[in-house]
């Protein structure tokens, strides 16, 4: 059984634990979770057990504290354990509090793969510290900054097996890349634009306050906040035909989870709405896209896709074609749960 650990128990880290327990606990062994040390182990267990977006964990979650977070040291960073149990299945996870990734005891706990979920260690030099600490592979739960990482979107491309530093790209890239690849293969794409209508994240402020991005500085729960996204450009990294031809922006909106990608393509072949939808329906039925690319004809809204595991759920009723070559495709995605499903799956690839 492959072993893994998680660095960071924020939104992505905790959702990844839920995905692992629900779908992968018989194939993957979660050995250790490293936290920032900002809370005691019982407090982390509480946030794991109760979640505003996804409800209660669905299994018993208990904590044992072995020392205070403030007492954690480089020699002994362990602050306790979290145990998850359900219907006779029990799993104990060691919890540490160490802010230097080079000092997390991955090697001591036989952790082969580390999910880097803090959002902080996104360069090759920073993430490479996990290798120094004994891990064999690092999977970044974010787009990487700079060179040195192999980036993969499941269903679209594979990692470089020789590179231990890997990126699962972003939730938005995981949504748009499957659709974009289908469009490229079937119709050719001359250029494309993206507008992702994205639920707010904790990179925004709850109330107006200081932030390097003055739009993200404003109250996330009260405003529509246009901002940047690298998702479209990243799609060009995993789909070479789109490199330099795909760009976009994000609009953060006052919903806690559930997002929508509005993609506009200029195709090289003349198409109709019916042809576009037929191709997307057919693609969703292929083995390579099972559980990744889905379609719907129902008039859904964002709350309807919370907890969906697919990367991309095309809303067929919203497809538009103008002049035979200007094509809009709209696709939903759970920017937390759906993304974490791919994140955990990457461990076993």
Q: Which residues are catalytic?
A: 171
Q: What is the dihedral of CA 277, 278, 280, 286, to 10 degrees?
A: 160
275: Cβ contacts below 8 Å, ≥ 6 apart? none
| Residue owning tokens 């996870």 | 93
Report strand pairing: 320-322 vs 326-333: antiparallel
- Which neighbouring-strand residues pair with 6? 33, 115
- What distance in Å separates the CA atoms of residue 46 and residue 66, rounded to the nearest whole number? 17
Per the CB < 8 A criterion, the answer to whether 60 and 48 are in contact is no
| Residue owning tokens 């639920």 | 199
- What distance in Å separates the CA atoms of residue 125 and residue 149, rounded to the nearest whole number? 10
Sign of the dihedral defined by the CA atoms of residues 251, 263, 324, 276, in that order? negative
């Amino acid at each position: 059984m492959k072993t893994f650990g998680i660095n960071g128990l924020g939104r992505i880290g905790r959702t990844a634990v839920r995905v692992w327990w629900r779908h992968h606990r018989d194939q993957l062994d979660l050995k250790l979770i490293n936290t920032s040390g900002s809370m005691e182990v019982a407090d982390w267990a509480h946030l794991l057990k109760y979640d505003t977006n996804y409800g209660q964990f669905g299994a018993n979650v208990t904590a044992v504290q072995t020392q205070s977070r403030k007492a954690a040291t480089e020699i002994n960073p362990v602050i306790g354990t979290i145990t998850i149990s359900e219907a006779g299945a029990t799993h104990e996870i060691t919890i540490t509090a160490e802010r230097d990734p080079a000092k997390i005891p991955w090697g001591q706990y036989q952790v082969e793969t580390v999910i880097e979920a803090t959002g902080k260690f996104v360069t090759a030099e920073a993430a490479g510290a996990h290798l120094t600490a004994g891990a064999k592979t690092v999977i970044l739960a974010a787009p990487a900054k700079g060179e040195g990482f192999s980036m993969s979107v499941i269903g679209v491309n594979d990692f470089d097996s020789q590179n231990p530093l890997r990126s699962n790209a972003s939730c938005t890239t995981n949504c748009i890349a499957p659709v974009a690849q289908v469009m490229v293969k079937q119709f050719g794409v001359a250029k494309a634009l993206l507008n992702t209508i994205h639920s707010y994240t904790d990179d925004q402020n709850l109330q107006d306050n200081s932030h390097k991005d003055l739009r993200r500085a404003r109250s996330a729960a009260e405003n529509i906040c246009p901002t940047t996204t690298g998702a479209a450009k990243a799609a060009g990294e995993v789909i070479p035909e789109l490199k330099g031809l795909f760009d976009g922006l994000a609009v953060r909106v006052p919903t806690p989870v559930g997002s929508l990608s509005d993609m506009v393509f200029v195709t090289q072949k003349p198409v109709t709405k019916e042809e576009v939808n037929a191709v997307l329906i057919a693609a969703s039925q292929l083995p390579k896209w099972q559980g990744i690319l889905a379609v719907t004809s129902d008039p859904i809204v964002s709350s309807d896709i919370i907890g969906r595991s697919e990367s991309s759920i095309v809303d067929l009723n919203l497809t538009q074609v103008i002049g035979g070559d200007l094509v809009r495709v709209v696709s939903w995605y759970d920017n937390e749960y759906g993304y974490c499903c791919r994140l955990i799956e990457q461990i076993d690839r």
